[in-house]
Amino acid sequence: MFYFYPVLRLFGLSFLPEGNWDLGKLRELVSDSFYAQTLWFTTWQATVSTVLTMALALPGAYVFARFKFRGKSLLQAFTTVPFVLPTVVVAAAFRALLGPHGLVNDWLMAGFNLSSAPIQIDRTIWFFLLAHIFYNYTVVLRIVGGFWAHLESDLTEAAQMLGASGWQAFRNVTLPLLWPAISAAMLLIFIFCFSSFGVILILGGPRFATIEVEIYRQAVHLFNLPVAAALSLIQIIFTFSLMWIFTWLQRKTAVDLNPVSQVASQVRAVSKVQKITVRANVCFMLLFLGAPMLALLIRSLTADGGFTFTFYTALFQNRSQSIFFVPPIEAVMNSLLFALAAMSMALVLGTLAATYLAGPKNRGTSLLDPLFMIPLSTSAVTLGFGFIVALDRPPLNLRTSVILVPIAHTLVAFPFVVRSLLPALRGIPRSLREAASVLGASPWEVWRTVDLPIVGRALLVGAVFAFAVSLGEFGATVFVARPQTPTMPLAIFRFLSQPGSLNYGQAMAMSSILMLVTAAGFLFLEKFRIGTIGRF
């Protein structure tokens, strides 16, 4: 109702504008070089982002998979934080660090008595490429590092006993075993970067037109709905194909290799090379992942070179007194209420879907596994645009309804709940349920007394995931949220879009609040997460 119906309406708007079959808009996309360049640039930047992320993150995945060191569990939790941060917060953090008025430029100008900022990467491709690497670094650590940690070292040792060098053993033994996990991580990163919106819109500016940004521009600025709809459909088809391949590769990571525990496969760094490898990767993670977040906090607490809470107190003020403007702090309350509603709906739907997928394998599960993941791969901008196009007539006349925001957030968060629950549900021995049934338990009692105690921790993980995803959702919200009910990401975007130091400072303050809330939630769930091989 809330995914496929809007998609079908987009299909009708694109190819049946007057009730008759018309491929004019599709021909326009194919014949106009601008749209071809947009598709090429979207694919190119996603490919470059994926390659750079893999190159920088694979050494870190190796360190996490094979070595024990002090503070590892805390560092592992810390590396998760960037991925769960909303895209607008990531963009704000990089502007606070490397923007024209960022900390690094301010320090260099003060230290070397410069009149202008020496680092000029604002509104360039390098700015959002760095943000994409920052955002997706942990995907490689979790998918590849998690799978790598469970591989038996006996296979590599056997190859070395037969005369293979360390490189030959890695190339001929370890890499083929890792390849399904590496491929899955690359595909997932590519999908995220291909459908990136907030980072490119804020850091790249109007010069860089990706499909996502062009859908937004055509729908909101030019009101060219048929072209926006055609672009949305192209993106849906493209990303669904990639997501189907991703779920297939993810199943391939479940090879029967008698996986060992992470503790048994990890050793202390002993040699000089090992110590340098571990320390270099740890320093890189702390610097690259920590610097933008630290800069965001510092920028939110400083003004005119001094410490201040001015930007935080300004969030409680309604300076314009407009009927369409509310104090920024109300955006925090709106986000919390929407997140609670979306979390509740996503938990119900996610539990039902994961229970079915964890059952006996058949053609239905093979089809529905990627189908349930498609909202994750679908552009949030496309989703929001579809809502505006489709939900404008009874009985679904919800275009101006406040409930549209949590519904959109539920669709975005739902796949995360499914992915959190599936490993736990698939790990429940069938004999436990059968024993309970033999002893007279009804299906509801079996679920309540057998399944729920086992999957309770995974359910908590899914709840925190859904809550945090809803808090930071931006792409769909920019379409469906009303002016009177802005969310935190929308408020941040509005502040960054307006000139003035106060607006900039309030954007940093609200971004810091959103960052701290999402980070606290995921650091908390690290205690409850159920680890699994190759599972995102």
Distance separating alpha carbons of residues 67 and 345, to the nearest angstrom: 40
Residue 477 in any domain: the answer is yes
Instruction: Count CB atoms within 10 A of the CB of residue 378.
Output: 26
Predicted local confidence at residue 198, as pLDDT: 82
**Residue 67 resides in a domain:** yes
In contact, 199 and 91? CB cutoff 8 Å: yes
Under 8 Å between Cβ of 492 and 511: yes
Q: Is the pTM of this model over 0.85?
A: no
Beta bridge partners of 267: 67
Name residues whose C-beta falls within 8 Å of residue 97's C-beta, 6 or more positions apart in sequence: 103, 104, 291, 292, 295, 296
Structural domain includes residue 4: no
At 303, is the secondary structure helix, strand, or coil? strand
d(CA 183, CA 411): 26
Provide DSSP, 390-448. Answer: HSSSTTS--TT-TTHHHHHHHHHHHHHHHHHHHHHHHTS-HHHHHHHHHTT--HHHHII
* pLDDT score of 535: 44
Residues comprising the chain, all counted? 536
Report yes or no on 534 lying in a domain.
Answer: no
Number of other residues whose CB lies within 10 A of the CB of residue 76: 16
Q: Report the number of distinct structural domains present in the chain.
A: 1
Residue 297 has a pLDDT of 93
What per-residue confidence (pLDDT) applies to 262? 55
Tens-place pLDDT, residues 290-322:
999 999 999 899 887 788 898 998 888 776 554
Tell me the two tokens of residue 261.
């525990």
Query: 98: helix, coil or strand?
Result: helix
d(CA 433, CA 315): 53
User: What burial class does residue 212 get, using C-beta atoms within 10 Å of its C-beta: 0-12 exposed, 13-18 middle, 19+ buried?
Assistant: buried
Predicted pLDDT at 536: 43
Q: Is residue 533 part of a domain?
A: no
User: Is 66 in a helix, a strand, or coil?
Assistant: helix
Task: Please indicate, yes or no, if residue 404 is contained in any of the structural domains.
Answer: yes
**For residue 75, what is the domain's CATH number?**
1.10.3720.10
Tell me, yes or no, whether 6 lies in a domain: no
> Which residues of the chain, if any, have pLDDT below 50?
255-258, 322-324, 530-536
345 assigned to some structural domain:
yes
* Domain boundaries, position 256: 33-525
- Is there a contact between 215 and 231 (Cβ–Cβ < 8 Å)? yes
Judge whether 466 and 343 are in contact, CB under 8 Å: yes
How far apart, in whole angstroms, are the C-alpha atoms of residue 202 and residue 506?
16
